[in-house]
Amino acid sequence: MDERINEASGLAISRLGQELYHLNDHRDEINYSTIYVTDFQGKLKRSVVISSFKVDDTEELRVAKCPGEESSCLYVGDIGDNDWARESVKIAIIKEEAMHAKAKTAAPLNVLTITYEDGPHDAEGMSIHPNGDLYILTKMGGSSGLYRVSKEQLKAKRAKAVLVGQIKYKRINEKPYRNEEGKMVIDEEWATSMDIAPDGKSFAVMTYNDILIYPIDLASLEKSPLRTLTTEGKRMMAPRLGQQEALAYLGSNRIFYNSEEETLMHQMVCKGEKQTSYDVAPKEPEEDDGEEEE
């Protein structure tokens, strides 16, 4: 992958051509609002600056239908909040056609300001369901909250994210140990990315150690009674990458993923119990045959 994409935090797959969109996790306003466009091998084709989008901590990218339209949009999630101090987070929605081959800048169709119903949260996962609703997956040690922003709110300037589910992750180790600071700790999983399958029937969660597939349609979750997912996640036998924070579905059975610390693109193919992982994505990704995960 191009050396300029050296702290990859967001990854999305174009609906208009054989291209990938990448987002760096830099503490730098210029890089924060820059989208890098590559081919499927990670060769840089261009970079596009998102104008009029002052950000704090961009963490996720997605391509989905524009709100209320059939055309596709790029959703840029400024949803990071390490200190749990932001009163609101933001999502820029950009027409994908604005990211064309000659583009150097692109103006958002809308910048949506989102407030969580229960106060600030750190988050690195975001995706859009085929029904148009947007979901944010928060980042906490050992667990995550699933928040929904209804499709009706995506055309507005302000929206509220409502908690509709929780995920509890299996601990990395059950026995406490003494860390470098002399404190007794237990290692927990931390969610770093999420994506919803194109058919909406499942979703993938990336943590620093695993990729988990949940065979659940998020549209079925309701605020009350609140559902907690514990053992539903199926662990994928994918090679672990250092500081892995970006994944995206390509069809219902394939997932692209990469990390902040490595420069290779990776692809995982899942058909039932069979899994195949590539260190480098094939030149032309195979056509999805439409088979679903079992």
**Is 290 within the bounds of a domain?**
no
**Is 283 within the bounds of a domain?**
no
What does the pLDDT average to over 180-188? 69
What does the pLDDT average to over 194-206? 94
Query: Exposure of 178 by Cβ count < 10 A (0-12 exposed, 13-18 middle, 19+ buried)?
Result: exposed
- Mean pLDDT is lowest, of 92-106, 154-168, 212-226, 263-277, for 263-277
Q: What is the CATH number of the domain that holds 67?
A: 2.120.10
Residue 170 predicted with pLDDT over 70: yes
Residue 271 predicted with pLDDT over 80: no
User: Between 132 and 170, where is the model more confident?
Assistant: 132
Alpha helices in 7-113 (DSSP H): 29-32
For residue 159, what pLDDT is reported?
98
Average pLDDT, rounded, for the chain = 84
**Is 294 within the bounds of a domain?**
no
**Is 289 within the bounds of a domain?**
no
Q: 23: alpha, beta or left, given left = phi > 0 and alpha = psi -120 to 50?
A: beta
**Is 285 within the bounds of a domain?**
no
Q: Which domain holds residue 46?
A: 8-278
User: Between 285 and 142, where is the model more confident?
Assistant: 142
Q: What is the pLDDT of residues 208-228, one digit of tens each?
A: 888 899 999 999 998 888 999
**Is 1 within the bounds of a domain?**
no
For residue 24, what pLDDT is reported?
78
Q: What is the pLDDT of residues 58-108, one digit of tens each?
A: 999 999 999 999 999 999 999 999 999 999 999 999 999 999 989 999 999
pTM, rounded to two decimals? 0.87
**Is 226 within the bounds of a domain?**
yes
Residue 272 predicted with pLDDT over 80: no
Amino acid at 272: G
Q: How many domains does the chain divide into?
A: 1
Q: 84: alpha, beta or left, given left = phi > 0 and alpha = psi -120 to 50?
A: left
User: Strands, DSSP E only, in 39-142?
Assistant: 44-50, 60-65, 72-78, 89-95, 105-106, 110-116, 123-128, 134-138
Q: What is the pLDDT of residues 1-41, one digit of tens each?
A: 667 776 677 899 999 989 999 987 655 545 457 899 998 88
- For residue 44, give the 3-state DSSP assignment: strand
Give whole-number Cα distances, 132 to 45, 150, 152, 209, 272, in Å: 30, 7, 8, 30, 27
Comparing CA positions, the residue from 65, 9, 5, 63 lying closest to residue 37 is: 5
**Is 291 within the bounds of a domain?**
no
- For residue 209, give the 3-state DSSP assignment: coil
